[in-house]
Amino acid sequence: MFRENNRHLQQGAFETTQLMHPRNREIFDKSWAPFFYEYVFCRIDEKPFSVLYDPVMGKPNFPVNILIALEYIKHMKHWTDEDLFEAFRFNSQVSYALGIRTVGGLNMAERTLYYFRERVYRYCMENPDAEDILFSQFVNLTGSFAKKAGLSLDEQRTDTTLFTSNIKKAGRISLAHDILAQAVKAIPDEKLTSTLAQVLEPGFKNKVLYRMREQEADGRLSMLLGLCGEADAILGELPDVCESDAARILHRFLDEQSAVDPVTGKLAPKPRKDISSGSLQSAFDEDATFRKKGNVSQSGYALELSETCSRDNPFQVITDYAVRPNNVSDQEIFVERMPVIKANTGCTDMYVDGGFHSDEVHKTAEENEIGIHLTNMSGTTPEKKLPVTAYEIDHDTKVIQKCPAGHAPTRSGVSGGQTSAHFPNETCNHCELQDQCHSKPQKKDAVVRITLKAVDASRIRAEMKEDQIENTSMRAAIEGTNSAVKRKGLDDLDVRGEAKVTVICGLKAIGQNITRFIRYMRGGYDKRKATSSTPIGGPVPNPS
């Protein structure tokens, strides 16, 4: 049964801080704990978490604000669970931060926190379209930090970084073995064939994966695929296990990685080029995908982070985060998140690198009244011809009005996704720019044809070149935020699956913001007055 926790608002007769030496109390009051209690713990909204509990039946829940705050502290301090439980029991700062005024005054079994995590994970997986209960806390807390510190949220920067969940980087043979082993374990003993039974023998894995010459790899993979096919046939006839995770994963693996040889009728490995980047990467994480970025190949996810970047801000805060399979492009993620960022922060200008450039990105930005500032653009800049910007083209109609030499066309217009203009042949034949011009001589006249996409791209390149130094300096620091999140455990996650990974990434983003805000409140940044104080989450309730 769900019940809110307001006991921390009642002052006790005997509190640990009352027994401190005055000098120690003075130091304690300037530590992180009082700031965490006032600006984080007191602003945690427990109501959204009521969906995790039965509204009527059962014992009252352990205080949700304490459980959430413990998760924040864990990722803020980059502690292990063992460190966290020890601090909860014996650390006076942690107790105070959680509204517990006597050290050790509240008992909590370790499984209580584990059960809570399980509830959150299960809710996120079973309700993918419901409001993210952790993201709403992130928005409200970030809003209160921005209001208190007077941060401007108008200018922001966005980037993505790749990371891996708790899976090993497996080759096709290793992946086939792991999936086969799971499937065989799901088959009852009485249904196991002698060939499948050997998969569970202690030496089978070593024999298949390690005692193998390079030229034997294809044969081993074909052998494992044959065993997978045999296991798939057996599981398909067992109503109790045919819908199990092991059976589903096995069937997906065979569909993605194998094809029936038309000559032998046996399963054979598909060529690597025929395997999708969205194919199964691990027997234990169905959501992870494959992506090659530069010279690096990675199986896992992409994390999008947006943060403020106004020069008037004494410090910057993360304003948005999202986790997607890593084969989803930066542009797709950005298009999806822009309306969310606009709604939560009122962002007016966004600084991004060239990987985010696309027509859809600029269209979405225009719809949300967000100015896009690129540090560069993907693709190559045309060099042999004059730039499109050398032509005088009407900004709205995109009709060519003059050529680079200043000549007006005899006729011009826009159709079929391109703008065209006709010039007299004698004018073009005697022009010194003829070799560099886009015009092509025809029987009656010379014609210039430029695609509308090229017109838009040229304008963006011109604007970008004019402000490139400024755009680069405004965007560059988000690489440091990516690194900070990775140093706090993003590169060493202990969970799998997109839903669980998103929860952990959200906690790490909140942890970063809390760390920065508390440092600011303790005088760690220059407290310059910001030019704007637009809050993200609306008015912040007074904790008193």
Same domain, 107 and 43: yes
Same domain, 28 and 97: yes
**Band of residue 156 on the pLDDT scale cut at 50, 70, 90:** very high
d(CA 95, CA 510): 20
Q: Please, which residues have CB within 8 angstroms of residue 217's CB and are 6 or more apart in sequence? A: 173
Asked, for residue 79, whether it belongs to a domain, the answer is yes
Q: Please, which residues have CB within 8 angstroms of residue 323's CB and are 6 or more apart in sequence? A: 301, 302, 303, 304, 498, 501, 502, 505
Domain boundary among 220, 250, 274: 274
How does the average pLDDT of the chain come out, rounded? 88
Same domain, 24 and 87: yes
Beta strands in 315-354 (DSSP E): 318-325, 349-352
Residues belonging to the chain: 544
Same domain, 118 and 179: no
234 sits in the region (left: phi over 0; alpha: psi -120 to 50; else beta) called alpha
Percent of the chain at pLDDT > 90 equals 62
What is the CB neighbour count within 10 angstroms for residue 92?
20
Same domain, 125 and 219: no
What is the structure's pLDDT at 212? Answer: 65
136 token code pair: 């709403």
10-14, 237-241, 397-401: lowest mean pLDDT where?
Answer: 10-14
6 by Cβ neighbours in 10 Å (0-12 / 13-18 / 19+) ranks as exposed
d(CA 499, CA 283): 17
Q: Is the pLDDT of residue 465 over 90?
A: no
Same domain, 189 and 101: no
Q: Is the dihedral of CA 330, 336, 339, 344 positive or negative?
A: negative
Same domain, 121 and 63: yes
Asked, for residue 496, whether it belongs to a domain, the answer is no
Asked, for residue 287, whether it belongs to a domain, the answer is no
What is the structure's pLDDT at 383? Answer: 55
Each residue's pLDDT tens digit, 298-325: 899 999 999 999 999 999 999 999 999 9
Asked, for residue 338, whether it belongs to a domain, the answer is no
- Residue whose C-alpha is closest to residue 179's, from 199, 201, 207, 193: 199
Same domain, 120 and 13: yes
Domain boundary among 130, 147, 163: 130
Residue carrying structure tokens 């990467």: 281
Asked, for residue 223, whether it belongs to a domain, the answer is yes
What is the structure's pLDDT at 307? Answer: 97
Same domain, 212 and 126: no
Domain boundary among 425, 457, 489: 457
- CA distance readout (Å), 103 to 11, 14, 17, 97: 14, 11, 10, 11
Q: Is the pLDDT of residue 541 over 70?
A: no
Asked, for residue 463, whether it belongs to a domain, the answer is no
Same domain, 24 and 78: yes
Residue carrying structure tokens 């807390």: 141
Q: How many domains does the chain have?
A: 3
Asked, for residue 66, whether it belongs to a domain, the answer is yes
Find the domain containing 31 and state its range.
7-130
Each residue's pLDDT tens digit, 478-532: 999 999 999 999 988 999 999 999 999 999 999 999 999 999 999 987 654 433 3
Same domain, 40 and 117: yes
What is the structure's pLDDT at 293? Answer: 73
Q: Please, which residues have CB within 8 angstroms of residue 516's CB and are 6 or more apart in sequence? A: 315, 316, 317
Q: What is the mean pLDDT of residues 442-460?
A: 85
Asked, for residue 468, whether it belongs to a domain, the answer is no
Question: Phi and psi for 238 in degrees, rounded to 5?
Answer: -110, 105
Full DSSP string of 56-69: SSSSPPPPHHHHHH
Each residue's pLDDT tens digit, 210-238: 866 666 777 889 999 999 999 999 999 99
